[in-house]
């Protein structure tokens, strides 16, 4: 077996060399899901794949170490090898973190792998698709930013063809790179806000999708920069326009046959979803406030999770913990074709390794306990008053990062998923982020109060 592994690694090295690769990048993520790593010459890839590259965790956000601790090692996954489309002499590898030759307890990728093992023990593969929404801007001479197209000024910007074509060159480079990597892009468009776009591409197993989203954010930033622009994955840069989601489209498959276990032609609700799918939804709804702290992980995330405030009307982001059929006003939506469920609360700043681990574990609990989510909501949930929502027994999603972290800390699911070390690290880091936000004196306060009092 060892001989086979060595042969496979040598084949990988030879293949990369044949393709013109000169360097290998061992990459992992911090608490934000941002790429960190080291680069080695291709001649050193054998050592790199055995964990030769070491990192001081104390120098990074949310990699819980003291400066006196042993360094963590990046252990690259050979199956994740990805040649950078914009710099083809470099190959990127998603990596797990190890400490003293053992998996590091607070490694984000390792946390997702633990959750996937729980699913596998039940006979499931977790398939995941992400709708990637993001902004492309250019800087102004005054130090601000604006959309690339001078025509991108209309209030209802969704699906606008002229401004899509104005951004054709940068979008073509992004979509072309995605397809070069074999991701199977099937559509892209101008989204609801000015300067906002979305790419839709094929689903895959959750670990591979988390690797891809991590790489996607790196790639889009680099491609935009090459053309003199910058890409932003901030959830809501405009207070009066729609924010950027990262809708999780989820299903469970039979681990042996690959059959989609969420498909049903006999759904009495007419949503084409199996009982297993409904139980999965129920588990997510049960733990939604805690999950929200991870899939909407920033102060800015909660400027997106509001009913109104968009120039086009509603913000398209969920507010209430409920589910429905093909209805975008619920936190969880069952798309028209059935066979999958969509979580609409997640935004594009999500660390997908952690977010997927939380939402999968909650869904599996719903299955194990046979939970029932009740009847689906088909009506416009935005039109109900808060009193009406409460009378229906529906909870509201956290309104701030502070509320979300309180829910995360109080829910036993969080420590079950994260492990004790990352659980406390996440709470401490996000509580400090929330405190820093409150201590900051904003332009809004200066404009409102400086000369008023």
Number of H helices, E strands in the chain: 14, 20
Whether pLDDT at 271 is above 50: yes
- Characterize 15-50 residue by residue with b for buried, 16 or more Cβ atoms within 10 angstroms of its Cβ, and e for exposed: ebeeeebebbbbbbbbbbbbbbbbbbebeebeebbe
Note the pLDDT of residue 386: 87
Mean pLDDT to the nearest integer, 280-292: 98
Note the pLDDT of residue 88: 98
Can you give the pTM of this predicted structure? 0.96
- Please compute Rg for the chain using Cα positions: 22
Whether pLDDT at 379 is above 60: yes
Mean pLDDT to the nearest integer, 363-375: 97
Whether pLDDT at 2 is above 90: no
Mean pLDDT to the nearest integer, 190-202: 97
Query: How many other CB atoms sit within 10 Å of the CB of residue 309?
Result: 18
Strands (E), 233-291: 248-254
User: In the chain, which segments carry CATH 3.30.590.10?
Assistant: 116-437
Whether pLDDT at 326 is above 90: no
Residue 349 CA to residue 34 CA, distance in Å, equals 10
CATH 3.20.20.80 fits 12-104, yes or no: no
Arithmetic mean of pLDDT over the chain: 95
Vertex 131: Cα angle to 201 and 214 (nearest 5) = 85
The 10s digit of each residue's pLDDT in 121-148 is 999 999 999 999 999 999 999 999 999 9
- Local confidence band at 1 (pLDDT 50, 70, 90 cut-offs): very low
User: In the chain, which segments carry CATH 3.10.20.70?
Assistant: 12-104
CATH 3.40.50.12280 fits 116-437, yes or no: no
Mean pLDDT to the nearest integer, 33-53: 97
The 10s digit of each residue's pLDDT in 146-189 is 999 999 999 899 999 999 999 999 999 999 999 999 999 999 99
Residue 62 CA to residue 421 CA, distance in Å, equals 10
Note the pLDDT of residue 406: 98
């Amino acid at each position: 077996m060892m001989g086979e592994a060595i042969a496979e690694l040598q084949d990988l090295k030879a293949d990369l060399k044949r393709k013109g690769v000169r360097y290998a990048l061992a990459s992992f993520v911090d608490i934000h899901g941002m790429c960190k790593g080291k680069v080695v010459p291709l001649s050193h890839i054998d050592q790199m794949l055995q964990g030769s590259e070491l990192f001081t965790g104390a120098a990074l956000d949310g990699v819980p170490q003291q400066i006196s601790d042993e360094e963590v090692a990046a252990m690259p996954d050979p199956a994740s090898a990805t040649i950078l489309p914009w710099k083809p002499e470099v190959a990127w590898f998603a990596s797990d973190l190890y400490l003293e030759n053992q998996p590091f307890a607070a490694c984000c990728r390792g946390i997702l792998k633990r959750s996937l093992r729980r699913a596998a023990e039940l006979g499931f593969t977790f398939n995941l698709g992400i709708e990637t929404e993001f902004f492309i801007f250019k800087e102004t001479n005054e130090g601000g930013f604006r959309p690339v197209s001078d025509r991108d000024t209309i209030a209802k910007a969704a699906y606008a063809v002229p401004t899509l074509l104005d951004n054709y060159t940068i979008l073509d480079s992004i979509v072309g790179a995605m397809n070069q990597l074999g991701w199977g892009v099937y559509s892209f468009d101008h989204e609801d806000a000015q300067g906002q776009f979305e790419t839709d591409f094929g689903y895959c197993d959750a670990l591979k999708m988390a690797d891809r989203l991590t790489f996607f954010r790196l790639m889009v930033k680099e491609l935009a920069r090459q053309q003199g622009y910058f890409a932003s994955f901030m959830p809501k840069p405009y207070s009066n326009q729609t924010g950027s989601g990262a809708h999780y489209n989820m299903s469970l498959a039979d681990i042996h046959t690959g059959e989609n276990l969420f498909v049903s032609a006999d759904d009495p609700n007419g949503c084409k979803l199996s009982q297993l799918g409904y139980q999965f939804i129920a588990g997510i709804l049960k733990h939604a406030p805690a999950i929200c702290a991870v899939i909407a992980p920033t102060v800015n995330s909660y400027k997106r999770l509001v009913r109104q405030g968009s120039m086009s009307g509603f913000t398209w982001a969920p507010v209430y913990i409920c589910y429905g059929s093909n209805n975008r006003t619920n936190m969880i939506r069952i798309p028209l074709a059935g066979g999958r469920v969509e979580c609409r609360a997640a935004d594009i700043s999500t660390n997908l390794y952690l977010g997927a681990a939380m939402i999968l574990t909650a869904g599996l609990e719903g299955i194990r306990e046979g939970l029932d989510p009740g009847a689906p909501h088909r009506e416009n949930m935005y039109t109900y008053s808060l009193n009406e929502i409460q009378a229906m027994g529906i909870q509201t999603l956290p309104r701030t990062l502070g509320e979300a972290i309180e829910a995360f800390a109080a829910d036993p699911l969080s420590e079950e998923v994260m492990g004790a070390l990352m659980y406390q690290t996440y709470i401490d880091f996000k509580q400090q982020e929330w405190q820093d936000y409150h201590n900051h004196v904003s332009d809004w306060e200066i404009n409102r109060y400086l000369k008023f009092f």
